[in-house]
Amino acid sequence: MASLVTVFGGSGFVGRHTVRALARAGYRIRVAVRHPNLGNFLPPMGTVGQIQVVKANVEDADQIAAAVRGADIVVNLVGILYQSGHQRFESIHAEAAGAIAAAAKSAGAHSFIQVSAIGADIESESAYARSKADGETRVRAVFPDATILRPSIVFGPEDNFFNRFAALARMLPFLPLIGGGTTKFQPVYVSDVAAAIVKCARDISTRGHIYELGGPGIYSFKELMELILRETGRKKLLVPVPHWIAMSKATFLQMLPKPLLTRDQVKLLKYDNVVSSGALTLADLGIQPDSVEAILPSYLWRFRAEGQFEESTQDKIAAASKS
């Protein structure tokens, strides 16, 4: 019988791609989500009965225990980008991660994969980064040979980065360059992150290691904004915004139901988000990552003035080269 993998947070952005990749790899999958009705799109990704969606609030020990019962491998993808109501970074990224790892160990799982983030640092001024580091520590305390994956900005059709700024470029006369737009990023394609999770599930030699996941290119924030504008065929001003002004604006923006910007995100933007020198990477997992330039045209077309009927930047370049 195929191994059973329990995936916490499987209905999210990275989760749905992970579930699909695991299904294609032949695993049986139990997807643990807070609201099972929001995961009804997942079972058709596999064969009949291969993917099961169950209710599991990560703040409920009994529900966590039920979700990991009988699982050979447990993957934790639960995360939030901003705090709201009772959902706090510390409870979701740290306390829940430790509770899931403890339950997995108690249930006899032989492998645990914790998806964290590049920049996780208990000394960081960002609460997000501190909570990610705390989560790693709590996981390792109860599951010492857990595998930890730290991706940079993850991009793909449902991402919250390129889609957000492409939408803003459609509405606003300018795009803000927080801190001048000099912060570096190494965006990684969501399918490559999913492939890394599958590799770690299969390969016992990955246990106990930390992998930092980044794509083939490193870009400044300004370069990413320029790339979005080129791909969507829009001309907008790029306006440098000092960190202190961004912090002031974020004080009010973070009060929105879905904040456009929070003070904690401004703090994160002070530091580069790239793979560390000497870190284990996608290459060590045998994965050749896809570039931003290769993937963005497949989903940012919807932000062009004429949608799918407008010629992409790559098409224009190809046509020019032939003329």
Give the number of domains in the chain. Answer: 1
Supply the mean pLDDT for the chain. Answer: 94
The pLDDT, as a whole number, for residue 211 is: 98
Give tens-digit pLDDT for 70-96.
Answer: 999 999 999 999 998 888 999 999 999
Provide the pLDDT for residue 316: 56
Is the per-residue pLDDT at 308 higher than 90? Answer: no
Cβ proximity of 28 and 5 under 8 Å = yes
What CATH number does the domain containing 202 carry?
3.40.50.720
pTM: 0.93
- Output Rg (C-alpha) for the chain, integer angstroms: 20
| C-alpha atoms less than 13 angstroms from C-alpha of 131 in its C-beta half-sphere | 22
Dump the DSSP string for 48-78.
TTTEEEEE--TT-HHHHHHHHTT-SEEEE--
Strands 184-185, 219-220: pairing is antiparallel
Residue keyed to tokens 């001003």: 237
- Give 281-300 pLDDT, tens digit per residue: 999 999 999 999 999 999 99
Give the confidence band of 1 by pLDDT, cuts at 50, 70, 90.
low
Judge whether 43 lies within some domain: yes
Q: How many CA atoms lie within 13 A of 250 on its CB side?
A: 19
Q: Residue 317: its pLDDT value, please?
A: 53
Taking the CA of residue 222 as centre, how many other CA atoms within 13 Å lie in the half-sphere pointing to its CB?
Answer: 10
How far, in Å, CA of 239 to CA of 235, rounded?
A: 13
| Domain around 48 | 4-156+187-213
Q: Which two tokens stand for residue 60?
A: 């409920």
pLDDT at 315 over 80: no
Q: Are 32 and 10 in contact (CB under 8 A)?
A: yes
CB atoms within 10 A of CB 61: 13
Q: Tell me the per-residue pLDDT of 140-183, one tens digit each, with 9 for 90 and over.
A: 999 999 999 999 999 999 999 999 999 999 999 999 999 999 99
Mean pLDDT, residues 24-39 taken together: 95
Task: Please state, for a pLDDT cut of 70, what percent of the chain lies above it.
Answer: 94
Tokens of 91: 């409870």
Q: Would you say residue 109 lies in a domain?
A: yes
- Token pair in block for residue 87: 């959902």
**22 found inside a domain:** yes
Checking if the pLDDT of 47 tops 90, the result is: yes
Is there a domain that residue 182 lies in?
A: no
Mean pLDDT for 195-201 is: 98
Residue 102 lies in a domain: yes
Do 201 and 18 touch, CB atoms closer than 8 A? Answer: no
Please tell me the distance from the alpha carbon of residue 32 to that of residue 56, in angstroms, as a whole number. Answer: 5
Give the tens place of pLDDT for each residue, 129-152. Answer: 999 999 999 999 999 999 999 999
Average pLDDT over residues 242-249: 94
The band of 111, judged by pLDDT with boundaries at 50, 70 and 90, is very high
| Gap between the Cα atoms of 50 and 316, Å rounded | 44
- The phi, psi pair for 33, rounded to 5°, reads -135, 155
Q: Is residue 284 part of a domain?
A: no
Tell me: pLDDT of 314 over 80: no
Between the CA of residue 83 and those of 88, 168, 295, what are the distances in Å? 5, 22, 30
- Answer whether residue 256 shows pLDDT above 90: no
- Amino acid 305: pLDDT: 85
Q: 147 in helix, strand or coil?
A: strand
State phi, psi for 261 to the nearest 5 degrees. Answer: -160, 140
Q: Is residue 33 included in any domain, yes or no?
A: yes
* pLDDT (average), residues 106-119: 97
Of the listed ranges 232-241, 243-252, 266-275, 309-318, the least confidently predicted one is: 309-318
Return the residue matching tokens 């394609």: 189
323 band by pLDDT with thresholds 50, 70 and 90 = low
Is the residue at 305 inside a domain? no
